[in-house]
Amino acid sequence: MSDPAVSIAFFDPGHGLHGTARSGATLLFEGAESTLMAEGPSVERTNGGWQAELEGSLSLRLEAVTAPASLDGVTVHLCEVSGTVGTKKVHCFGTLGETETAPSWDELDALRSLSAIFDRDHALLAMARRPRGAPGHGQEQVAAWLLHGGAPLPVGDARISTVYDGEGRQRSAGLELWIAEEDFPRRLSGTVTGGSSLQLEGADVHAAIFRWRMEDREGAGAYELWVRREREAA
């Protein structure tokens, strides 16, 4: 069995520095400005965490702060992140994802992943897959994980609504989270603070950093939209 594909993300709203990275691509944000590099960092497991290195761009230590979340074949670790991005220091929260099986674009039209991190005890992670030929997002298969007060809550149903611009890029979003034995959904909303588009693994990817709000908390995270790219006719 091959090792899982690893992706990382970090969100430091205090310094306006954010980033996402995986094999073949690193996307860094400073404020609303983005820089794309066609190379991913090396990520090595160390005692109690992981070390991510991309020469001249980032050197980050990631340490899990809670048990991992399992989201439809992807294991996601909520992490405390420290180190440097370029010449600037960061100390913030982020995620490390381990994907056992890559998305099959013969079976999917779209894939969405969302993260909203408020503090070490409050966070939301979600993954949505739209099967090939499904008429709309109402047919998506959504898995969500909510951390509240340091403990995960069982999300029975999650609904994602998104406002897009004319190029199909996500501008704002809202989520309803239905928790077992609760009469009303918990809600969060977010708006984009920076974004970029690229092509990866047979898909067009719109990657965005979001500012999120849930109840009286504000946080940061990512909203990535992967859309199947049609093969060009021979």
pLDDT tens profile 8-43: 999 999 999 999 999 999 999 998 899 999 999 999
Give the pLDDT confidence score for residue 83 in this predicted structure: 97
- Residue 145 pairs with which residues in a beta bridge? 125
Q: In the predicted model, is pLDDT for residue 230 greater than 80?
A: no
pLDDT digits 0-9 by tens, 198-213:
988 778 999 999 999 9
Contacts by 105-109, CB closer than 8 A, 24 or more apart: 105/201, 105/202, 105/203, 105/228, 105/229, 106/132, 107/131, 107/132, 108/132, 108/228, 109/133, 109/134, 109/227, 109/228
Give the pLDDT confidence score for residue 148 in this predicted structure: 96
Give the pLDDT confidence score for residue 234 in this predicted structure: 46
Confidence of residue 110 (pLDDT cuts 50, 70, 90): very high
Q: In the predicted model, is pLDDT for residue 47 greater than 50?
A: yes
Mean residue pLDDT of the chain comes to 93
DSSP 183: S
pLDDT digits 0-9 by tens, 117-168:
999 999 999 999 999 988 765 678 999 999 999 999 989 999 999 999 999 9
Q: In the predicted model, is pLDDT for residue 77 greater than 60?
A: yes
Q: In the predicted model, is pLDDT for residue 233 greater than 80?
A: no
Share of the chain above pLDDT 90, in %: 81
Q: Please state the φ and ψ torsions of residue 137, each to the nearest 5 degrees.
A: -70, -15
The maximal CA–CA distance of the chain, rounded, in angstroms, is 55
Give the pLDDT confidence score for residue 231 in this predicted structure: 65
Give the pLDDT confidence score for residue 136 in this predicted structure: 65
Give the pLDDT confidence score for residue 232 in this predicted structure: 59
Task: Report the candidate in 175, 219, 206, 202 with the shortest Cα–Cα distance to residue 78.
Answer: 219
With beta carbons less than 8 A apart as the criterion, state whether 227 and 204 touch.
yes
